[in-house]
Structure 1
Amino acid sequence: MKITIIIADDNSFIREGMKIILNTYEEFDVVATLKDGQEAVQYCKNHSVDIALLDVRMPVMDGVEATKLISELTKAKPLILTTFDDDEYIIDAVKNGAKGYLLKNTEPERIRDAIKSVFNGHTVLQDVVLDKIKSSLNAATERESKADMTQFTERETSIMTLIAKGLSNKEISKTLFISEGTVANYISSILSKTGLEHRTQIAIYYLTGKGK
């Protein structure tokens, strides 16, 4: 079966061009192109969609709000595709359930791989996007967490602190003198307790006290 995709972008040249590109891959079926977030949400509510490829800045409803509603109300997985002029939206998009965040100048093959990865349950954030997130959060890492930490063990709290500082699982394992597998197990426990979906959301939750 093909992966069904919708594309929402207020620029008709971009959305139709992306449709042509994605339909060259035999594993994809672009079932609709839409001009704003509201249309994207409505389409996902009324049809079976695997991936919702969303721009951020759109009239009527932007991609961040559309991401939130699509995540809450449908089975479609939102994947943001935008420009770096929109980097102030990154954290909000991730908090609202975006499964990936890619730049529009990304090579088609990487976009294809990202869509397939998100479809298979993974989260895709380009390194340059992760750097933006780390930069945005960096000023807050020395402050105490705003989240309710009472539900977490001391070890889980330590790991959340290090995630918020941008450390990888490997770096956390070296810092805490535990295996990477143990770190992964603790992260799974944190995700279960918070209802979050990936480590970037953990960092945002730790620093802002806000989850999805």
Structure 2
Amino acid sequence: MIKLLLVDDSELITGGLAVLLGVEADLTVVECVDRGEEAVRICQQQTIDVVLLDVRMPGMSGVEATKHITETTDTKVIILTTFDEDEYIVEGIKNGAVGYLLKNTEPQQLIQAIRSVMKGQSILSQDVLEKAKQGFQPVKKTADLTSLTPREVEITRLVAAGLSNKQIAVQLYLTEGTVNNSLSTILHKLELDHRTQVAIYYLTGKAGDHDAAF
């Protein structure tokens, strides 16, 4: 059973999500709250597997709450955003979010995203990835992939294209386990933490650090 915490200052959002997710046999909504501080406290005091977290809330923002949650607990954070919040994308990923989805994501895609992050994957919707690309000023350099093998470069390209590990395996005629192992090697070589950072690095030449310009 995957234990969920829903965090949004709109009861309409949390209530709708609670109903949507509550019907899934492997998902259970532990609590709904409307403050980042409360989300941090609950994650630190209870076993929460995944938190779905809004960005803009009174008090502590979702981006700041993400940092506290990921640094002090094993809870995985999926940030739910709207199009006008793209300035938070890179900072959310930097702070440890393993998922970044739009609030209008199709229900089944959201449910699949929750299950995927529990398997160690990171989720970045294509629309959000496009926003991240637009948020950077043009860069003169491209990503330095010289430390990667040709196969690793191709896997990196497909990650940036938004493909899952399973889809990459099918396209490259590899096992999913081989792709998983290759991605771990890629992360180590590029000194990155998440596949979402790999995608942004490949597309922009920047790793999504504090020096990234919006």
TM range (shorter): 0.7 to 0.9
Distance 1:75 1:167, change over 3 A: same
Instruction: Tell me how far apart the structure 1 counterparts of residues 55 and 149 of structure 2 sit (CA, whole Å).
Output: 33
Matched residues in 2 for 1:207 and 1:170: separation? Answer: 13
How far apart are 1:136 and its partner, in Å?
Answer: 2.2
Q: Secondary structure at the match of 1:20?
A: helix
Structure 1 CA distance, aligned partners of 2:41 and 2:90?
Answer: 24
Cα deviation code 1:13-43 (max 9, x no counterpart): 2112211111011111000101111111110
CA contact (8 A) 1:196 1:202 kept: no
Structure 1 gap segments, 5+ residues each = 172-178
Q: Which residue of 1 aligns with 2:184?
A: 188
In the alignment, which residue of structure 1 is the partner of 2:147?
155
The structural deviation recorded for 1:50 is: 0.4
Greater Cα radius of gyration, structure 1 or 2: 1
Instruction: Tell me how far 1:169 sits from its aligned partner.
Output: 5.9
Offset of 1:199 from its aligned partner?
4.7
Q: CA deviation at 1:203?
A: 3.9
Give the 3 Å change call, closer, same or farther, for CA 162–25 of structure 1 in structure 2.
closer
Distance in 1, matches of 2:42 and 2:119, equals 22
In the superposition, the TM-score normalised over structure 1's length comes to 0.76
> What does residue range 104-143 of structure 1 map to in structure 2 within 5 Å?
104-137=103-136, 139-140=138-139, 142-143=140-141
Select the residue among 170, 194, 197 that pairs with 1:197.
194
- Matches of residues 7-156 of structure 1 in structure 2 within 5 Å? 7-137=6-136, 139-140=138-139, 142-143=140-141, 154-156=146-148
Return the letter of the residue paired with 2:115. Answer: K
How far does residue 168 in structure 1 lie from its aligned partner after superposition?
3.2
- Report the number of matched residues: 194
**Residue number in structure 1 paired with 2:166:** none
SS at match of 2:136: helix
Preserved CA contact (<8 Å) 1:8 1:52: yes
Distance 1:54 1:8 in 2: 5
Greater alpha carbon shift after TM alignment, 187-196 vs 71-80: 187-196
Over 3 Å counting, the alpha-carbon distance change for 1:208 and 1:119 in structure 2 is closer
Q: Give the fraction of aligned pairs with identical amino acids, expressed as a percent.
A: 39
Q: Deviations over 1:49-70 (max 9, x none)?
A: 1001000001111111111111
Runs of 4+ in structure 1 off by over 6 angstroms are 157-163, 179-186
C-alpha distance in 2, partners of 1:31/1:75?
Answer: 16
1:122-144 CA-to-partner distances (Å, cap 9, x unmatched) read: 1111111111122223612x148
